[in-house]
Amino acid sequence: MGRYLESNRAERDACFCSWSCPEGRRSLLATEFRRGRPLGFESATGRGGFQTEMIELYQIPYSPYCIAQRRILEFSGVRFKVINVPNGDRALIWRLTRQRYYQVPVLKDRKSVVFETAEDSQVIAKYLDEKLGLGLFPRQWEGVQTILWRCIENEIEGVGFKLNDIYYTETVPVSDRLRFVRHKERKFGRGCLEHWREAKNELLEELQQRLVPFEQMLQDRAFLLDARPRFVDFDLFGILGNFLYTGHYKLPDLHSRLKQWYKRMALVKLPSSAREKLHS
């Protein structure tokens, strides 16, 4: 699974190699600590007494993957800044990543620019997890989380984004709409947006059915895997956040546990005690 951490020119190759394995990631983060970039990257509340520059999240507000990373940052309590990128103009992202990437989200942490390298690489979330000590990728759930996030990002997102895109005129500025429609039709066929609009009820029924396993997972636990949120919780939260973004939909009444989970995920914060335990 690919990793890429873009740093300044002198460090670029070393960063690429270091972030590709657990030992290298630990060494790289330790180097940042020695340079005054503390491993316990703290929020403005002064937890632990550290003060740092703000992380910057480059996003499209309704993107499911941006929603997930934004919620992870909120969960952590770290200071961060959001920069919205026009859907039809990715020049800023292209420059920021030195012509290596044009999608969102992208994370900038001082001189380091972090972005995905594959469809399901989760580079950004793993970077934040190791830097902030969030416990999103514990060893006992390796493999299981990979299976789940692939399901979430294919089975759930594959229906949810269509229902969101039906109302693109409410989220995409007039100046970007031609490029938006052209992109969708080149990828999904001419008239795809109108087709999805006509099939809205069928798509809603399909989404309800695909969410059944996640409702079942919440029968005896607060979050998808155990008593605290892991990466897949944030991943599903982002996908459903995209579906709900326009305000035209709600989660199915049939999935009462999932509805409560979604409310819980919107508010959950990393306790100070949890962070201290992760770094002990």
Residues 6 or more apart whose Cβ sits within 8 Å of residue 50: 38, 40, 41, 42
Going across the sheet that includes 80-84, the strands are 5-6, 112-114, 106-109, 55-59, 80-84
Q: Taking Cα atoms as reference points, which of 18, 11, 3, 44 lies closest to residue 112?
A: 11
d(CA 111, CA 67): 23
What pLDDT score was predicted for residue 2? 37
d(CA 33, CA 38): 4
Asked if CATH classification 1.20.1050.10 holds for the domain at 139-267, the reply, yes or no, is yes
Give the number of other CB atoms < 10 A from CB of residue 47.
Answer: 15
What pLDDT score was predicted for residue 3? 35
DSSP 147-195: HHHHHIIIIIHHHHHHHHHTTGGGTS-HHHHHHHHHHHHHHH-TTHHHH
Which tokens go with 197?
A: 């609009």
In degrees and rounded to multiples of 5, residue 55 shows phi and psi of -70, 145
d(CA 72, CA 210): 24
Domain residue spans in the chain?
A: 5-137+272-278, 139-267
CB–CB of 193/181 below 8 Å? yes
d(CA 161, CA 158): 6
What pLDDT score was predicted for residue 55? 97
Give the number of other CB atoms < 10 A from CB of residue 169.
Answer: 11
The CATH architecture that domain 5-137+272-278 belongs to is 3-Layer(aba) Sandwich (3.40)
Are the folds of 5-137+272-278 and 139-267 the same? no
d(CA 28, CA 240): 34
Structure pTM? 0.81
DSSP 248-267: S----TT-HHHHHHHHHHHH
Q: What are the residue ranges in the chain where pLDDT is below 50?
A: 1-51, 278-279
d(CA 229, CA 207): 23
What pLDDT score was predicted for residue 85? 96
Residues 6 or more apart whose Cβ sits within 8 Å of residue 82: 56, 57, 59, 70
Which tokens go with 186?
A: 């080149």
